[in-house]
Chain A
Amino acid sequence: MKLRDHYQEAVKLFQPKPSYFFNSLKAFFVGGFICAVGQALQNLYIEIFTLHISVAQQMVLGTFILLATLLTGMGVYDKIGQFAGAGSLIPITGFANSLASAAIEHRSEGIVLGVASNMFKVAGAVIVYSVVIAYILGVIHYLFSTLF
């Protein structure tokens, strides 16, 4: 197949493929590790502060959000992310990093038009779809429960 005439197809041979296996392996271990630590923290918080399980879970999430924000501020999270891929993106840490990195990046444009206006540059979609899906499913749930 001539490269020139069928470029979009033929060029695929030249494009490097991601290391599917190793990327997934790294994501698995980092993501799994974060969750295991989270489980340990949850038990710890219940033990030390005698919290209800759902409150303890919120505290764990808050802990990880704080940790991710600090690591982002230290300039380390982007390196972790390059290594772990989804392993650091999927846990709530990824969400926190997307907010923190955008906020830090746009500080040069001031705290209103920079930090505040750009904070949701990456994660805004997550919030929008959270609200949209919650409404859709909420309405469906309502219809189901009133009709049946």
Chain B
Amino acid sequence: MEYIFAFLVGGIICVFGQMAMDVWKFSPIHVMSMFVVLGALLGSIGVYDWLVSFAGAGAIIPISGFGYALMDGVEANMQESGLLGIGPGMFAQTGISLSAAILFSFLISLIVKPKG
């Protein structure tokens, strides 16, 4: 069932992240950056496509899915525009997440104060 795979794959990716923090002592910033880069790397060699095909949200929701979406957009755009397609391509799919996060963060900062 797709839900089981989503759960398992998503969970396992998070476990790798947890080990990166606990065992290899990477900071949260390091871990997030590393996973985006990993997603982009695996996406460019086709491995992440395979992961997405059976795990669905389990591969898309982790931040590595953001890296994958970067390359997906880049590759699609490069087919039309070559090297010039890299710039606009990377934000073709990720633009939605990025702009939403920025907008929502801005709006919430106007409404609430930190609670500590």
A and B are partners in one complex rather than unrelated chains: yes
The number of residue pairs between A and B whose CB atoms lie closer than 8 Å in the complex comes to 259
Bound complex: CA A111 to CA B111 (Å): 12
Contact with B62, one of A23, A92, A101, A106 (Cβ below 8 angstroms): A92
Q: Does B83 contact A (CB under 8 A)?
A: yes
Chain A interface secondary structure, helix, strand, loop or mixed? helix
Contact with A105, one of B7, B67, B97, B114 (Cβ below 8 angstroms): B114
Nearest CB in chain B to that of A134: its residue: B90
Interface size in chain B (residues, C-beta < 8 A): 75
Q: How large is the interface on A (under 10, 10 to 19, 20 to 34, 35 or more residues)?
A: 35 or more
Interface residues of B in 62-116 (CB under 8 A from A): 62-67, 70-71, 74-75, 78, 82-83, 85-86, 89-90, 93-94, 96-98, 100-102, 104-106, 108-116
Interface residues of A in 118-138 (CB under 8 A from B): 119, 122-123, 125-127, 129-131, 133-135, 137-138
- Told that A35-B55, A107-B109, A107-B113 touch, could you supply 13 new A-B pairs with CB distance under 8 A? A27-B17, A28-B12, A32-B11, A69-B101, A90-B63, A92-B65, A95-B66, A100-B101, A103-B109, A115-B109, A130-B94, A131-B90, A134-B40
